[in-house]
A and B are shown apart, each in its own frame.
Chain A
Amino acid sequence: MSGYVVTILITIAIYAILAHSLNIITGHAGQISLGHAAFFGIGAYTAALFYTKAGLSFWIDVPLAALVAGVVGAVLGIPCLRVRDDFLAITTMGIGFVVEAVFLYIPFFGGAMGIGGIDLPMWAGREMTKSEYLILILVVLGTLYALDYILGRSWIGLAWSSIREDEQAASALGVDIVRFKVMAFILGSALAGLAGAFYAHFLTFIMPYNFGFGQSIMILCMVVFGGIGTRWGPIVGALLLGLLPEISRPIMEYRTLLYGLLLVAMMRFQPSGLLGADSFLVVYFTKGLNRIRGGEVKA
C-alpha cells in the first residue's frame, strides 16, 4: 500500500477508536456528550508532554495518556451526573471549551505554539514505519472490540442498557446508576485519551485547535452516522466520514457543503444510522441474506 493510503487508514483507525470510546458513553450508557474532543486532547497532550518534556518512551506515555484522561473523565464525570439530557449535552460542550482554553492559555501546555517533535514510536531499534504503526493501531482497535464484546454480555453492559432505556426504572430495580454512569465516563474518556496519544505521535505536532468543538461534533457524527449504540457503527462511521473528504477532493469547493447535507439527509431519512435497526441497508441486507439461505435450503 502507498504511504498515502496508509496515512488515511491511520487517521481512520484513530477516529474509529475515538468513535468507539464515545459510543460507550453515548451509545451504551445513553449520555450525550458534545465535548468528547477534550479527552482526546487530554490524551494527546499527556503523551506529548511525557514524551517531549519527561523523555518517556512511546510505550509508557500511551498508557499514561489513557490513565490521565480516565482520571480527568472521572473527576469531570461526577459533576455531569448532576445534570441530565440536554443540560448534560451543553455541560459537556462547556467542558470542551474550558479544556481547550486551558491548553491555549496556560504556557505549560505550549499555548498557541502547540507542542512539536512527538515522533513515531521506536520498534526493534529504529523508528516504526507508517505501515507498522497502522498495524499497531489496528491491533489495539481489535482488542477493544473483543473487550466490547465481552463487556456487552456482562452485568455492566446490561446495566448500561437499562440506564439508557429508562433511568428511573433501572434505579427502581436496584441498578446503581451513579456507579455505572461514572464507569462509562471513565472508560470512554480513557479510550479517547488512548486515541489522542496515537494521534499526537502520528501528527508529531499538536495545537489546541485540533481538539475544539468541531472535532467533538465530528466524533459524534461518526457514531450517529454509523448507528448509535451498535457495535460496528462507530467503525463504519469513522471509515465513511473519514474517507469522504478524500473521495470528494475533486469537487473541492463543495465538499464541506456535501458533508453537511449528508448529515441532514441521513438524520431525515435514516436517523438510526447505517447499521441501526430500521436502516434501509440492514433491511435489504437481511432480505438478501435470507433469500440466499432460502435458496440453499431448496437446493
Chain B
Amino acid sequence: MIWQQLANGISVGSVYALISLGLTMVYGILRILHVAHAGIYTLGAYVGLLSFRLVDNFWLSLFAGMVGAAVAGYLVERFLYTPILHLSRIAPLIASIGLFTAMEEAFRIVAGPHTLVYNARVGLGDLAIGSFRLTETQVLILLVSFLILLFLWLFLTRSRMGLAMRACALDLETASSFGVNVSAIIAMNFIIGSLMAGAAGVLIGVYDNQVWPTMGSIPAYKALAIVVLGGLGSIPGTVLASIIVGLSETFFIGVLSIPFPRDAVAFIAMILVLMFRPYGLLGKA
C-alpha cells in the first residue's frame, strides 16, 4: 500500500510541477504573481477538448491545447503586463486576478456551466506489478511531465536563447546592456510557461475526465504556494516543492488519516519553511 500511495503522490506532484513551472518562469523574469496563469491552464484544457472533438486524436489535441495556451499567454504578456510593468507590484497582481475572474466567466458563458468530459484514448497501457498499479493516465502524466522537464532543462542549459533567458532572470538591465533582446526573451518566456500550463490543462482534463469553467481556481493559489515554497523563480526548487507537496498531501490523507483539508497542507509547509528559509527551499535573496 505504501508503494501505491507513493505512486499517487508522485503523479499529483508532477501535475503540480507542470502548472507551477510556468508561473515560476514568469516570476523569475518579470517578478509578477501571474494568477491568470490558471486561466491559461483552463483555456488549454478547453482548446484541447474542442480539438479532440474535431479530430479525435489525443496527441493532436494536446498539441492544440498547448498552442492555444501559448497564444493566449503571449497576448496577456504583450497587452496587459508589459504596459504596466513599471508600476508597483500590486497593479499587475490585481490586473491578473481580474483577468482570471473574467476568463472563468467567459469559459462559463461560451462553453456552458456544466462539466464537459474529455474521454480520450491515449494508446498507452496500464502498468501493474503485483498489487501496485499505475493507470494509463498516470503513466501518461509521468511520461509527459518528464519529457517536458527534460526539454526545458536542455533548452535552458544548452541553447543560446536559454542562456539569454537565464541572464534576464538574474538581471534584466545588465542582460539588456549586453545586447540581449529583452522583449523577445520576455515573450518567449511567457510562451514556454503557457505551453506548459496548456499541457497541464489537457493532461488534467483527461486524467479526471472533466473540464469545467472553474477548474483553475484551486491551481491558481496552490501553484503560488508551491512556487514560493520552492523559492520564487527557482526552477529546480519548483520541481522539488511540487513533489514534496504532492507526496505530503497524499501521506497526510492516506497514511496518517489526519482530517485536515488538503490545501492547508501546502500552505502550512510553505509557512514553516519560510520561517527558516525566507526565500524558500532553493531560492536566493
Contact = CB atoms under 8 A, between A and B. Distances in A.
Query: Taking the complex as a whole, does A directly touch B, i.e. does some CB pair lie under 8 Å apart?
Result: yes
Interface of A: 26, 32, 79, 82-87, 89-91, 93-95, 97-98, 101, 104-105, 213, 217, 220-221, 224, 228, 253-254, 256-257, 259-264, 266-268, 271
B224 interface: yes
A220 B89 contact: no
Contacts of B264: 97-98, 101
B91 to A, nearest CB: 4
B1 interface: no
B279 interface: yes
* Chain B CB within 10 Å, residue with most, of A84, A105, A213, A217: A217
B98 A263 contact: yes
Contacts of A257: 101-102, 105-106, 109
28 contacts: A79-B271, A83-B274, A84-B278, A86-B27, A87-B232, A87-B279, A87-B280, A90-B33, A93-B267, A94-B225, A97-B267, A98-B264, A101-B261, A105-B260, A221-B94, A221-B97, A254-B105, A257-B101, A257-B102, A260-B99, A260-B102, A261-B102, A263-B101, A264-B80, A264-B99, A266-B94, A267-B98, A271-B91
Interface residues of B, number: 45
A110 to B, nearest CB: 16
B270 A90 contact: yes
A253 B112 CA distance: 11
Contacts of B94: 220-221, 224, 263, 266-267
Nearest to A76: B271
A261 B89 CA distance: 19
A297 to B, nearest CB: 37
A87 B274 contact: yes
- SS class, residues of chain B in contact with chain A: helix
Q: Which of B98, B102, B224 has the most CB of A within 10 A?
A: B98
A101 B109 contact: no
A185 B57 CA distance: 54
A91 B274 contact: yes
A32 B89 contact: yes
Contacts of B270: 90-91, 94
Contacts of A87: 228, 232, 274, 278-280
A217 B95 CA distance: 12
A254 B101 CA distance: 12
B101 A260 contact: yes
A104 B260 CA distance: 9
A82 B115 CA distance: 42
A246 B100 CA distance: 22
A267 B255 CA distance: 46
